[in-house]
Structure 1
Amino acid sequence: MPIAVYVLALGIFTQGTSEFMLSGLLPGMAADLGVSIPDAGLLISAFAIGMVVGAPLLAVATLNLPRRTALGWLQAVFVAAHVAGALAPGYGTLFATRLVSALAYAGFWGVAVATAVALVPESAKSRAVAVVAGGLTLATIVGVPAGTVLSQHASWRAAFWAVAVATAVSLVCTLVAVAADQRAQGAPDAPGAGGESGAEGGNGARRSVRAELRGMARPQLWLSYAITAFTFGAVIVTFSYLAPLLTDVTGVSEAWVPGLLALFGAGGLVGLVIGGRTAHAHPLATLGWGLGALAAVSVLLAVTARSTAAVVVLVFLLGIAGYVTNPALQSRVFALAPGAPTLVGATNTAAFNVGNTLAPFLGGLAIDAGLGYTSVAWVGAGLAAAGFAAVLRAVRAGRADAGHATPPKPRRHAPA
């Protein structure tokens, strides 16, 4: 595996840490900025909104940009936004920097995957994508707890500075490693997410976009996007408010919060391993069982939130149930729309972040209504149930498609 693939995973790790670390920073941020915890939670939604808009938009915008150039500029914008966020005088400025950060991060995701795939032979492409995506899993296990510890001993602004510095280091490593591996292979610095030939120029890019839009015109694909949004929303609504739930309801000391966040990440890693083994052969079954487990764990967490022992176990199980579906969610859309390799993945990223946008908002509404922090787990259970219903709809639609694709048997005529 080329070193550049691992360096791209490092970029996902540093930026992915910022995506999720606010779950452990919310109490300190709310106090410092003079807002409620639900209002601080909307900063998570701000990042998700940027991802929703940025993923498809930048997938198209980078079709004709050299990959190395696109990667460098996107990370530079991300670093600048985090410096501005660390210096933000108030809530509004910080909200704006989260939007800009997410736009850059969404673009980096698409170009990073395209670059990794282009650097390896056909037999290693799936593994290369898994390595790059593994940076996000590592962010939940290491980066998020580390950011929480840093915020507890310094401030939430220190966590933003740390992400900015780490991403700047990643930027330099990316420029050097991608260039070195491209020279070693004798390959040019091809255009970004689309992987189109640079010789075609603007017209070629426009033709590519039209072709991909045609490839995405399938109802089953959009049903899959709905499943993605429901599933990730069911996970993130509880995870977003996990720190205040642990401290205010369960009674866990703040010193233990980073460890429990890491436990969630460890459960997520186990879920990814399990889901990676079942998603290819049984994608819908993996989604169905995973969403059923996610709903059950969310209900149990809401009911037993005051029991420390139960919550510790359930946080780990929440990570497993939340991430076991991820490989099926990621791979199924490509199988449904093979003619749209650029936009299909970018739109799925947007679907993940539709859930990431709406779920914390719904959780905040429940908290503001006086239902307490346990209400977010009930919201998560409801979203998981909606996702399960969508999976059942996908199963029925798949059977109908298979029936239409089966040629009718010839009628047997009785002898005269």
Structure 2
Amino acid sequence: MPIAIYALALAAFAVGSAEFVISGILPPLAEDLAVTIPVAGLLVSAYAIGVAVGGPVLTVFTSRFSQRNVLIGLMIVFSIAQVLCAIAPDYGLLLAARLLSAAAHGVFFGAGNVVVVGLVPPERRGAAFSLFISGITVANLLGLPGGSAIGLHFGWRVPFLAVAALGAIAAVVLFLKLPRDKRQEGDRHATFGEQVRELRHQEVWLSYLTITFVMIGALAFGTFQVPIMLNVTRLHPDIIPIYLLVGGIGSMLGIYLGGRGTDWKPMPTLLTVLLLQALLYFTMLFAMHDKVWMTVNLLGTSILGFAFSTPLQARVIAAAHSAPNLASSLISTAFNIGIAGGAFIGAMLLSAGVSYADIPAVGVVTSLCAAGTASLSWWLERRGSAAATSEA
């Protein structure tokens, strides 16, 4: 593989770590900035909104420029934003720096996909794309627990400096190794109108809704998982990174199992995952009071929390196959709307006096809602196929 793709994977790891690291350093960050943990948790919501809204909007303006230059510029802006996060003297300026980082994040993956396609021949594009995307998956495995460990031992500001260094290294390697853009003869890019029309398929917009439901439940718990482990499971702060690592391992297993299930039977796989996810969020209400069972439950919810994504992403791209670019980019928007909603709902419940121990109940409800929207989409698809067959 060209070294530029490894640089893109490194950049994806940095970008993913920047989004997730907040969850691992909420207690010391909140204490230092003199805000409550629920208010600090809103930094997750703000970041997700920045990605969800800024990504599609800024992509429209940057698509006319060299995607090589866009990527390099994004990583420079991203690194500067991480430094600003590290030196922010108060909550407001930290929030502003996070929004700047989110704007860069929102455009990064769309531009990265375009560049990856041009770096390798068609028969190797699948492997190249997987390598690129693996960066954000590894961020779940290493970035969150690593950032938490660094933050607990050296202060919450240091993880942002580490991420800034990763982003700067990636920018330099991209500048040195990423070839200049080449136009592919015969390529035709779908118009904006054509891409918008692809969003009309129910498989597309119901998949977005399903993704949003799942992520609301995942982030209502995930944003506050460290305080939950401290206050409910009664873990010592020094071993929390180990639990976060268990969650990261689960995410890697989930990506793998979700891919295998998608190749087998995507919709049965998806519905099974969503129903099991609802069950494990329910059992977590009891398991979080025991260190061993919390470990097992956390591993299970992490596996299921990543296994659902591949079937849904494949479903969106297949339904919008005539012009998939916009539909594909809005998958990230759906994820981040759910991330923002989950962090916000979790913060509001805690501020209203709900116990940390009751937060997984949000995941029970949202997972069942997601199973409902997925079932509806599958039923509509099968009914449409049956009608088309009878007409033929």
Q: Structure 1 length normalisation: TM-score?
A: 0.90
AA in 2 matched with 1:133: I
Q: Give the Å deviation of 1:400.
A: 1.7
CA positional deviation for 1:131: 1.3
Q: What residue number does 1:84 align with?
A: 84
Q: Where does residue 243 of structure 1 map in the other structure?
A: 226
Q: Tell me, what secondary structure is at the counterpart of 1:371?
A: coil
Residue 212 (structure 1) aligned with residue 195 (structure 2): yes
Provide, for residues 74-118 of structure 1, a one-character-per-residue CA deviation record: whole Å limited to 9, x for no partner. 111111111111111211111111111111012111111221122
Could you tell me which of 333, 336, 355 is aligned with 2:338? Answer: 355
Residue segments in structure 1 that go unaligned for 5+ positions in a row = 180-187, 199-203, 410-416
Which shifted more, 120-129 or 397-406?
120-129
Q: Cα RMSD over matched residues? A: 1.8
**Separation of aligned partners in 1, 2:146 and 2:6:** 21
**Structure 1 residue 190 displacement after superposition:** 4.3
Q: CA deviation at 1:340?
A: 2.4
For 1:131-169, what per-residue CA distance to the aligned partner results, in whole angstroms no more than 9, with x for missing partners? 111111111111111111111111111111111111111
Contact preservation (8 Å) 1:298, 1:378: yes
Give, in angstroms, the shift of residue 29 of structure 1.
Answer: 0.7
8 Å Cα contact 2:203-2:316 kept in structure 1:
no
Aligned to 2:109: 109
The aligned counterpart of 1:11 is 11
In terms of Rg, which structure is larger?
1
Tell me if 1:371 matches 2:349.
Answer: no
Specify the SS of the correspondent of 1:285.
Answer: helix
Q: Structure 2 counterpart of 1:349, which letter?
A: S
> What residue in structure 2 maps to residue 269 of structure 1?
252
Question: Any conservation in 2 of the 1:190–1:197 contact (CA below 8 Å)?
Answer: no
Q: CA deviation at 1:341?
A: 2.5
Write the distance in 1 (CA, Å) between the matches of 2:224 and 2:182.
42
1:303 equivalent in alignment to 2:295: no
Report the counterpart of residue 141 of structure 2 in structure 1: 141
The residue type paired with residue 330 of structure 1 is Q
Q: In structure 1, what residue type is equivalent to 2:195?
A: E
Alignment of 1:114-125 (within 5 A): 114-125=114-125
1:291 aligned partner:
274
C-alpha contact (below 8 Å) 2:287/2:297 kept by paired residues: no
- How far the C-alpha of 1:259 sits from its partner, in A, is 0.9
SS at the partner of 1:156? coil
Q: Which amino acid aligns with 1:56?
A: P
1:327 matched to 2:310? The reply is yes
Unaligned 5+ runs, structure 2: none
Amino acid at match of 2:101: S
Q: How does 1:164-243 map to 2 (within 5 A)?
A: 164-179=164-179, 189-190=181-182, 208-243=191-226
Q: Deviations over 1:319-339 (max 9, x none)?
A: 101011121122221101012
Q: Tell whether 2:100 aligns with 1:100.
A: yes
Q: Does the Cα contact within 8 Å between 1:48 and 1:102 map onto a contact in 2?
A: yes
Distance 1:12 1:29 in 2: 24
Paired-residue identity, %:
33
Letter in 2 for 1:229: T
Question: Is 1:338 matched with 2:321?
Answer: yes
